Structure 1
Amino acid sequence: MAADRTPARARGDRLPPTASVGGADATERRARPIDAPRASARAAGTGRRRGVALGVAAAAVCAVVAAPLGALAVAGGPDGERRAAPIPVQVAADDPEGIALHVAPVSTTTITAGQPLTVQVEVENTTAEALAAGTVRLTRADGVIDDSDELDAWLASAGSTDESAAPDGVALGEAETRPVAAGSNTIVSFTVPASAITAAGDAPVLGLGAELVVDDVLVASGADAFATSTAPAASGTSVALVYPLTVPASSSGLFDAETLEEWTSPLGLLDRQLDAVAGRPVAIGVDPRIIASIRVLGSSAPSSAVDWLNRLGEAGNEIFPLAYADADVALQAQLGLATLLGPTGFADALDPDDFAEQPGPDGEGEGEGDQPGETEAPADGATSTPAPSETAPAEPEPTPPAPGEVPSTEMLLDWPYTRTDIAWPADDTVAAGDLAVLDAAGLTTTVLSPGNVTSPGGRVGAAASIDGSTAVVADARLTAPLREASVADSDTEWRSATGHLLAELALDSGDSPSALLATFGRDAGDHSTRVAATLDELTRASSARTAGLAEAIGAPPTSRALVDLAEDASRVDSAQRMLEAEDSVAEFATVLDDPALLTDPVRRDLLAMLDVAWLTDRAAWETAVAEWLAARRATTEAVSVVPSSSVNIFARETPLPVTVLNALPYPVTVIVSADPSNGRLVVEESVTATIPAESRSTVQVPITAGVGRGEVTIAISLSSPTGVAVGRTVFISGNVQADWEGLGAGILATALVLFFGFGIWRNIRRRRKQRAAEASGAVDAPALHDVADDAIAEPADDITETNDPVDDPTETPDPEDPKRD
């Protein structure tokens, strides 16, 4: 089936089809009765499977030879009967899932009673082994299919290799198949007479089946169903369709001009998607990232991208926004966020030159600041934007920027959506409590997959009330074949899936009380050709009527219960780590004058990493998450101290050179701090410095020698002006050998001052005593004796005067004095 497909399968589609087997006499060219091989297979099944299993070992060696030999099938014999060149390879019956059969009428998806029918059976081999030649048996359902239970019973046997589970049916013919190489396919054609179709009666649905037998072993079987001309006419079931206009998974929150030009050029990804849905009866959920990516380029946007945006605005479809980058809203709800995430800005991606005023065709000025994709407002000031639906209140449009001014975030994201209150989570990801979170975020209507809601036991309309919240639930019976048809690899597979879809509608015609809902898969954009063809078939079908999404939402709701399907715990943990990394970048960004230059692109890229498209390849997503986290770490480590060798400190006061590296494309402001490990150094203040973009600068931090000499470790750290630590702390060894001679001289000078000061103090004290003694009485002879005694006791330099005449050089000596001799 559609899910069993490999890259080799796509290559197989390009191989030329084999010659048709059968023709007008196909029902008469049976090699044996239809029941004979079935009985033979049951009798010999065990032995055959042993033999086949032994052939598996040889299959790997012979596959390379078998593929070209299989392609050399030639017509031979007098009657032109086709014969395949034999190859020594048998299919491994223990790998039946790799073999699929698709049955469908040629060039139509419905069956007209009373007319002969040409049927194709496609044999698809998605295994790694070649499939040997065999026999295809074509059958139809033996009984009337006029309700869903009978249809389910017929389709239940598709893909079974159990003989007892093979569909009971009426034989229509059998024909041989050629060998099918690994990853390839082949088609066998049958012509069924009108009588075989008429014999099925007036049932609204006809079941067709096929079986593949290789060497009497039932290898694969398939069953499909198709609406007939007896199905009820239009006035039947109303079906609303929803299509996601998205791009493949990417870690980028914005797309560059080259990518947009490739996608929006003729036959590009976005061009094909818009061609498939524009003007057709389907509501479009568009990724706002596409619109913003075109608008941020201004006049630099590729002309094909601007034209694409204009076409989207003129499409006439119901359009609602998905989350930015189609970020998984259920995952965000389960992360416990206070509100859903959205882009915070685009200033880092805007170039004012792209929004400067440019001359118009007539030579007059024409502002290029107007948003691409928006029509010019009429002269009277009225807007040409379509009025929003009644369920969505009108919002004021942002004022266009003046020429030369860059547009605001609101201008870049603004679009005349039909409504903006719809959330579309990924299939089977919504858990209990998520709907309340979405309601609080303004997304009051949620599109749910059928597996996320309990079945009501019968077909009901899409509108539902779940735990007090409004939802529209996709119908499982319609959504499954719709998605198979939209991604079909071959025409036969597409007609088979589309026929099944129309058969479901034919059985339900008029039974549903309100409109049903069917949704395309998130990967439908890669198969836009099939999407357009499927929508056209639905439009032409007489058993269904396409309805708008608003009709499905506005219908009376049915009370239903949510099936709790929380996302995988490892995915939630990975998302939580990314949120923490974003917080780290936000703190680090305070080193910039405008932190949004860092935080805005990180938020956009984070939303891209939460894209629903990643769910189809979890291994690739985990790898992308690891790379994203590594990039965020590199951002927060882009500003750092460059380690240096040890330093010698000889002076009492000296600057310490610290080299700071800034690897960011923006200048940063940091505070450089030094913290010594002991008192040998003293750092009294930090230094604020601005480091130019993508450069390194040396910052001088003043330091002072403390007490003692020897080794010291200096911790150098950076912080933002708001106090957030930046980078890692770097430790530098230092050897303190300060100017101790100056310190010693200071100590000696202090000692001398103290010594002479003490002497002066004693002298002053003594003089005060003398004055006190003179003031207390007159001086006499005995006093002179006492003074002489004092003179003997005191040092000579302390005597300031004497009464001895000999000692008086001014007095004339007496010649008669006996002492003179």
Structure 2
Amino acid sequence: PIRSAAAVAATLGLLAPLPAGAATTTDDTGEVALTMAPGNQGIVTPGEQVVITLNAANAGDEDLEAGEVTLERGVRRLSTEAALDTWLDTGVAPGSFVEIAASDIDPVASQAETALTLAIEDTDTGTDDLAAGVYPIRATYRSGEQEHVAESVLVSPQAAGTAGVGVIVPITAGALTTGLIGAGTLSDLTGPDGSLSAQLDAVSGTSAILAVDPAIAASIRALGSSAPDDAVDWLDRLLALPNDRFALQFGDADLATQVGAGVTTPLQMTSFAPYLDPADFTVAASGEQSPTPAPSVTLPTVDELLDIGATHDDLYWPATGTAGAEVAATLGGAATVVVPDSVVTTESAVARATADDASLLVYDAEMSAALQEASETSAPVDRSAQLAALTAHAMLSAHSGALLVTVDRVDGRSAEALRDAILAVAGLPSRFAVDLDALLATDPTPVSLESVPADPERVAALTGYLDAAADLEHIATVLDDPALLLSNERATQLQLLGNAWLSSPEEWTDAATAHQRRVDAWSDGVALVPGQDISLYGSNATLPFTVRNDLPWPATVTLTVVPNDARLVVQESTTVVIGAEQTSRVEVPVEALIGSGVSSIDLQLRTPNGRNLGDGQTYAVSVEAEWETPTMVALSVLVTALLVLGIVRTVRRHRRGEVRSDGRSR
């Protein structure tokens, strides 16, 4: 039976883990959890039923007896966010409570849960003429001698549409160690069950402001005709969305780390040469001028690869908790930096601000954290409870003007959970959705920002990469296109700076260390292989030397050989092309103008533009050229003697044969 309610439904299913939420209460043994969530984010409307969902989970070994649930509403409003937090955390609220509904609840088996939904008439809840505000509600579940209580809120809104609200949502691919996303990974991410597909499913049809990692678009376009169909469809779908948007830095790279390492302009991609295969961009030619016209190849430009359909190109959004005064001072002069209000010092809550010369958009950190938690919560009842609490916070917030919130970067959340979080923002009472233009058009409020030091370990890693830049630029000149190495390195650096790594510090340390080893190896990627001193037998010979190329691209180098004795004549310059990740033999002709003796030669490997590659090497040359003349004389005498001996033996055999023939004829 149910009292003071229009309808009730109960379902029984397997126990699912219940993450902590604003309306979840667990007993002292941790075996019974009661969760309560009002529908419609807790917002009540006169003339409409109030829907309350309860979930009783029994993680114990004993079944719970059939019981009863009683719902009560506080008669006094919660007037501040502090009072709201106290109520949700401790169950303490001012004033008395009145019962609004009660219902029987079925037994709950061990390791199972029961969900109960109550649809209560507004006249029973007292919400038919409730004054605007946030009201506490609680559910008491009694089973045998056990009693469990859960708290939540109902929100009676003010007049609708009095101030704007914007929500920024990231579109990112997660932590990567490669400059671009490979075809196989793209297939997984953009397939029906992929993370990127879930993100587009979540934002489609919402007013979310999209912050898109352009590395995703570049990865798809760089594959040309080899791009997976799902990835191409995903990119088309992204570009077709009408949502306001801006580009994150490539790889969603950590801006605070760059500023901490002394970078004044965020690192950019200037080439994608190592990722573009002309065969993927070959277009068959047509025309009557030739029976077999040559195909044409047009490679995409950097801007074409990175295009995400941005409506604004001058925004930076550092990861929450990483950026403060330092980042704003460095980047905010030429662009707008998006920062949390937790680093802003001001007497009133604002969404648009300036700090000295820095342009800022300021988001509510507490509400954004609640949205992020809700977007990660898989259980619908828990998520609804969290969003009801968020709505109450927004109702009590000091933001009387425009409000900006974010649903920060998280990998692997479901489309349903993310979409619920986004729609909750659009459904906030007394708010209407606004875009970036509206937020940026708001008169800015002067504020000051707190200092937020960058992570020293990440700064040290980036500093190491930057310190190696000169060596990499030098070694890159051995390539036909130096951008093959330099842009590959830049793309990988930015991916390793990606904010997705912030939640996995140990894995990031391993990846960053491995990359530093590769940078060190590439800085010495082409060099002479040390050899041994040389013994030269003869006045003319060819000296062999070995050059290694550890780079994944062919390298062109010049070997110079300088003798330290005028009586040694060598080919002073020899150019050779060494295959990718190979060693090559370089042969240098030499002529000795001395009969014998010891001299030396100096070797130096150089780039095509004449700069040294590594240290030079010196080899001692021991010349034994005089052995040739006596050896040739001895060989001539030996050959002559053998010829004479052969002739003599032939004549003697012939004479013996004649004598024997004459004897027989007698």
User: What corresponds to 2:83 in structure 1?
Assistant: 153
The answer on whether the counterparts of 2:37 and 2:53 sit within 8 Å (CA) in structure 1 is yes
- Within 5 Å, give how 1:248-263 maps onto structure 2: 248-263=174-189
1:405 corresponds to? 298
1:59-79 CA-partner distances (Å, limit 9, x unpaired): xxxxxxxxxxx979xxxxxxx
1:488 aligns with 2:414: no
Q: 1:505 to 1:411 in 2, by over 3 A?
A: same
Q: Which residue of 2 aligns with 1:719?
A: 606
Return closer, same or farther for 1:100/1:632 CA change in 2, 3 Å cut-off.
farther
Find 2:53's aligned residue among 104, 119, 123. 119
Aligned to 1:110: 43
TM-score by length of 1: 0.63
Counterpart of 1:410, as a letter, is D
Q: 1: distance between equivalents of 2:523 and 2:377?
A: 46
Query: TM-score of the superposition, structure 2-length normalised?
Result: 0.76
Equivalence map 1:384-423=2 (5 Å): 404-414=297-307, 416-423=309-316
Match of 1:224 in 2: 152
Q: Distance in 2 between matches of 1:736 and 1:269?
A: 68
Show the 5 A alignment for 1:17-166: 24=2, 102-105=35-38, 109-111=42-44, 115=49, 117-121=51-55, 142-147=74-79, 149=80, 151-156=81-86, 158=88
Structure 2: any 5+ residue segments left out of the alignment?
A: 6-12, 16-25, 290-294, 630-666
Q: Does 1:693 align with 2:626?
A: no
Do the aligned residues in 2 keep the contact of 1:684 with 1:703 (CA within 8 Å)? yes
Instruction: Give 2:263's aligned residue.
Output: 337
Q: Where in structure 2 are the equivalents of 1:181-580 lying within 5 Å? A: 186=113, 189=116, 197-198=125-126, 202=131, 204-209=133-138, 223-227=151-155, 230-358=156-284, 404-414=297-307, 416-439=309-332, 442=334, 444-454=335-345, 456-458=346-348, 460-507=349-396, 512-523=399-410, 526-540=413-427, 542-580=429-467
Alpha-carbon RMSD across the aligned residues, in angstroms, is 4.6
User: Which deviates more from structure 2 when the two are superposed, residues 106-115 or residues 475-484?
Assistant: 106-115
Structure 1 residue 416 displacement after superposition: 4.1
* Residues 759-805 of structure 1 deviation map (CA, whole Å, 9 limit, x = unaligned): xxxxxxxxxxxxxxxxxxxxxxxxxxxxxxxxxxxxxxxxxxxxxxx
Q: Which residue of 2 aligns with 1:756?
A: none
**CA distance in 2: counterparts of 1:233 and 1:257, whole angstroms:** 51
Give the Cα separation in 2 of the matches to 1:740 and 1:136.
114
Secondary structure class of the residue paired with 2:477: helix
After superposition, give the CA deviation of every residue in 1:556-601 in whole Å (9 maximum; x if it has no partner): 1112111111221111101111223444322211111221121121
How far did residue 345 of structure 1 move?
0.5
Give the CA deviation at 1:179: 8.4
8 Å contact 1:273–1:525 — kept in the other structure? no
Aligned partners of 1:180, 1:167: CA distance in 2, in Å?
33
SS in 2 for 1:428: coil
Deviates more, 1:110-119 or 1:490-499: 110-119
Give the letter aligned to residue 24 of structure 1.
I
Q: 1:697 to 1:253 in 2, by over 3 A?
A: closer
- Shift in alpha-carbon separation, 1:576–1:707, aligned structure 2, 3 A: farther
Structure 2 distance, partners of 1:124, 1:295, is: 51
Name the counterpart of 1:47: none
**In structure 2, how many angstroms separate the alpha carbons of the residues matched to 1:258 and 1:187?**
42
Separation of aligned partners in 1, 2:251 and 2:507: 17
On the 8 A contact 1:671/1:686 being kept in 2, the answer is: no
Letter matched to residue 211 of structure 2: G
Q: Secondary structure at the match of 2:176?
A: coil
The answer (yes or no) to whether the contact 1:679–1:706 under 8 Å persists in 2 is: no
**Greater Cα shift, 415-424 or 165-174:** 165-174
1:625 CA displacement: 0.6
SS in 2 for 1:526: coil
Aligned counterparts, 1:161-180, within 5 A? 170=97
CA distance in 2, matches of 1:217, 1:711: 101
In 1, distance between residues paired with 2:520 and 2:144?
61
**How many residues are matched?**
597
The CA deviation string for residues 312-331 of structure 1, in whole angstroms up to 9 with x for no partner, is: 23211112111111112222
Cα distance in 1, alignment partners of residues 350 and 222 from structure 2: 41
1:591 partnered with 2:483: no
Larger radius of gyration: 1
**CA distance in structure 1 between the aligned counterparts of 2:85 and 2:305, rounded to whole angstroms:** 49
- CA shift for structure 1 position 477: 4.3
> Compared with structure 1, are the counterparts of its residues 92 and 278 closer, same or farther at alpha carbon in structure 2 (3 Å cutoff)?
closer
Distance 1:586 1:690 in 2: 20
The 5 Å alignment of 1:563-642 reads: 563-642=450-529
CA deviations 1:290-345 (Å, max 9, x no partner) are: 22222223333333333333332321111211111111222212211242211121
- In 2, Cα distance between equivalents of 1:136 and 1:608: 55
Looking at structure 1, the residues matched to 142 and 589 of structure 2 have their Cα atoms a distance apart, in angstroms, of: 90
Letter of the 2:312 counterpart: R
1:7-22 alignment, distance < 5 Å: none
- Quote the Cα distance in structure 1 between the aligned partners of 2:358 and 2:424: 34
The change in CA–CA distance for 1:233 and 1:644 in structure 2 (over 3 A counts) is same
SS of the equivalent of 1:343 reads coil
Supply the AA of the counterpart residue of 2:154. Answer: F
**Residues 700 and 415 (structure 1 numbering): CA distance in 2 closer, same or farther, change over 3 Å?**
same
For residues 124 and 243 of structure 1, the distance between their equivalents in structure 2, rounded to whole angstroms, comes to 36
Amino acid at match of 1:153: A
* CA deviation string 1:116-137 (max 9, x = no partner): 6543146698xxxx79888999
CA distance, structure 2, for counterparts of residue 348 and residue 483 of structure 1: 37
Give the deviation of 1:264 after TM superposition.
Answer: 2.9
